[in-house]
Structure 1
Amino acid sequence: MGALSKRAAAEYLQLQDDLAEAYSIDDATRTFAVEPTHAQELNDQITERVDFLGRINVIGVTEIKGEKVLLGLNGPATGRTDTDENDRVPRDLLDLKNNMYELFSTETDVSLKFATIDAWAKFPEFARKYLEAVQKRIALDRILIGWNGVKVEKQTNRNLYPLLQDVNKGWLQQARELIPEQVLKPTDPAVKIKIGKGGDYENLDAAVHDVKQMIDPVFRDEGDLIAIIGSDLLAHDKGKLYAAQGQTPTEKERIENAQVIETYGGLPSFLVPFFPAKGILVTSWDNLSIYFQDSSWRRHLLENPKRSRVEDYNGRNEGYVIEQLGKFAYLESDGVETV
């Protein structure tokens, strides 16, 4: 059984005080509910830790289950009515098809050995750095689940599902279930869609262009579509560019400075954390959302001498939303092969 050193104990007490002050409570070592205003501030801090979360929507809602909250016209709304014969009929701002969301209990619980706190205590601003590290882990896990989550299990298992596949249904899984006609994959699982010379698509441009054609025409030319492309596909394309042009120093420098690609299929293209390695997604940033229930955030900081560690419990209800289903098209990573 260990114990905190005097210096580490002082840092741990500072961490307690910082948490109590941040959330306007008396004691951070007791389970406490984070007030909605503070939950929003905490969420904003988490969002700032990873660039991708700053691009999409991360929204606090009051109900654990309900209608999507973002407004976005599902197609044109302008016209004219002969009011002598007909009433004017306004266009609903919401996509009425599959317009619901549901949130699920989500825990991010971490621990820190007394010995680690002892080692870190000599560095300035230990409490701030620790809180930032926890926030970044929450941010990264949100993205990991968003791309890889396929189900919601009552008891999750990180050993069996290291990509957190059992924590929640992410965006790609929701597309598979709600809009399977907009998820491109081989009809025969044994046959792959080949990208490259002589394949089903001669290059990545052609593949992205084809995925874009699955987007509802009313969204296709609004000017905000982007392509998110898997790392293996980008690496394969980069390798071909180097093979063709990389022997010339000026060309090699140009490829590096431009990060090899800026557009594919006429769309701005991005590499994001944890996205399936051979997948292609066409959507817009504001079509991807994470909802959290602003009254559900719970936190508890515990000193556990039985395990010689400090334990930090973070819980909230959250879920994933595709705001407009017609604006989402995906090429399934498992069905792709590069040639």
Structure 2
Amino acid sequence: MSQLSARSKANFAVMLGLMAQTYGVDTVAETFSATPEVHQMLMDKIVLQSSFLQQINVMPVTEIKGQKILGSASGLVTTRTNTTGAGERKGRHLLDLDAQGYELHQTDMDTALLYSMIDSWAKFPDLADRYANYINRAIATNKAMIGWHGTSVAATTDPTANPMGQDVNKGWLQILREQAAAQVLTEGDTAGKVILGASGDFENLNSLVHGALSMIPEEHADSGDLVAIVGRDLITRDKGRRYAQHGELPSEKQRIEMAQTIDTYGGLNAFTVPHFPARGVLVTSMSNLSLYYQESSIRRQIVDEPKKNQYADYRSQNEGYVVETLEKAAYIEGANVEFVEEQA
């Protein structure tokens, strides 16, 4: 028997009833799936928990493996054809869809909610929303983290050995390493190292970002929507150098703290995002990064586990990461970046 208090048990039962109603099932205690519309709604709620996921594409697909859906609009569509003779107007393909395609993998998102936590939350009238936000926030964080750190797809993952989800799925950076190696800079003049500093491969962060930009072909480099995603160690180092140079001047100190002097690097708007490699630099557009999930692939069951004093929420769906246009992305391998400090 459940060890929940009577009030907690009643309130939690109401929440589970509302969940069953949302999914259109009799009970959530048995494994169930969702219609494409409900699945979309659930994914939208996860996306809302992450400002980063809101900027990229999180899209449903019907097949577990197939051709990419999006791509970069390229080529000239504004033309003219003399049709009075044998000439015919022809539609031109704008989307640059490469042959790599995508592949989705079953991804489990299993969580547990202790009775003690349910008892603590029972007094809140918004128990259902509070629980959903609690779960969705963790899932959203994990999706972004795996997108940056995922390198493999293990049959059984090991969270202890791979705390960043390295073995859950292949993320965007790994896709670039495998499918567009020429656009991943792993070393400069020193084997296996990219040295940042006056005597290194790149003098400063501006030149490092510009170096990444220079690896992108002109037709994409001039697209107008490229940004630089920059690791926090690089931002911190650059801000520290600016403090050292101008920190004693009140006006300059305020500008540095408000980030008004470091919002662009290499001519691109710069962003830091959660869990991005601390010394990495990725130049691409946010719309070039996607997370696909197979519609109606979600499976869920909520099980009372009194022997563990908890409810377990078992959830899975098929999903995968996609770089829509490989040539529109370039990465400086963060693990290889080293700093060289100038002598005073």
Work out whether the TM-score is over 0.5: yes
The alpha-carbon deviation at position 112 of structure 1 amounts to 1.1
- Which amino acid counterpart does residue 38 of structure 1 have in structure 2? V
The alpha-carbon deviation at position 160 of structure 1 amounts to 1.1
- Structure 2 distance, partners of 1:93, 1:235, is 40
The alignment partner of 1:123 has SS state of coil
Report matched runs for 1:134-283 at 5 Å.
134-186=135-187, 191-258=192-259, 260-283=261-284
Q: Quick one: structure 1 residues 242 and 288, their matched pair in 2 at CA, closer, same or farther if it must change by over 3 Å?
A: same
- Structure 1 residue runs without a partner (length 5+): none
Contact 1:74 1:95 in 2 (8 A): yes
- Equivalent residue number for residue 118 of structure 1: 119
- Equivalent residue number for residue 37 of structure 2: 37
- Structure 1 distance, partners of 2:189, 2:253, is 40
Contact 2:188 2:201 in 1 (8 A): no
* TM-score (structure 1 length as normaliser): 0.94
- Structure 2 distance, partners of 1:119, 1:50, is 26
Contact 2:70 2:97 in 1 (8 A): no
More displaced stretch, 6-15 vs 91-100? 91-100
1:73 aligns with 2:73: yes
The alpha-carbon deviation at position 76 of structure 1 amounts to 3.7
- Equivalent residue number for residue 3 of structure 2: 3
- Structure 2 distance, partners of 1:9, 1:96, is 52
Q: Quick one: structure 1 residues 282 and 89, their matched pair in 2 at CA, closer, same or farther if it must change by over 3 Å?
A: same
- Structure 2 residue runs without a partner (length 5+): none
**Residues 188-217 of structure 1: CA deviation (Å, up to 9, x unaligned):** 885521112222111100110111011121
Contact 1:35 1:295 in 2 (8 A): yes
Contact 1:233 1:338 in 2 (8 A): no
1:299 aligns with 2:290: no
**Residues 70-89 of structure 1: CA deviation (Å, up to 9, x unaligned):** 25334444455677687666
More displaced stretch, 119-128 vs 312-321? 119-128
Contact 1:75 1:219 in 2 (8 A): no
- Structure 2 distance, partners of 1:242, 1:187, is 28
The alignment partner of 1:42 has SS state of helix
**Residues 208-255 of structure 1: CA deviation (Å, up to 9, x unaligned):** 011101112111112100000011101100111111111222221111
More displaced stretch, 181-190 vs 267-276? 181-190
**Residues 32-81 of structure 1: CA deviation (Å, up to 9, x unaligned):** 10111000011111111110000000001111111111253344444556
- Structure 2 distance, partners of 1:101, 1:217, is 25
- Structure 2 distance, partners of 1:188, 1:200, is 7
- Structure 2 distance, partners of 1:232, 1:201, is 16
Q: Identity across aligned pairs (percent)?
A: 46
Contact 1:236 1:338 in 2 (8 A): no
Alpha-carbon RMSD across the aligned residues, in angstroms, is 2.0
1:289 aligns with 2:279: no
Contact 1:147 1:172 in 2 (8 A): yes
**Residues 242-301 of structure 1: CA deviation (Å, up to 9, x unaligned):** 111112222211111236521000000000011111000000010000000111011111
- Equivalent residue number for residue 325 of structure 1: 326
The alignment partner of 1:250 has SS state of helix
The alpha-carbon deviation at position 95 of structure 1 amounts to 2.8
Contact 1:57 1:288 in 2 (8 A): yes
The alignment partner of 1:251 has SS state of helix
Q: Quick one: structure 1 residues 45 and 294, their matched pair in 2 at CA, closer, same or farther if it must change by over 3 Å?
A: same
The alignment partner of 2:41 has SS state of helix
- Structure 2 distance, partners of 1:188, 1:203, is 16
- Equivalent residue number for residue 52 of structure 1: 52
- Structure 1 distance, partners of 2:87, 2:165, is 53
* TM-score (structure 2 length as normaliser): 0.93
- Equivalent residue number for residue 27 of structure 2: 27
- Structure 1 distance, partners of 2:190, 2:19, is 51
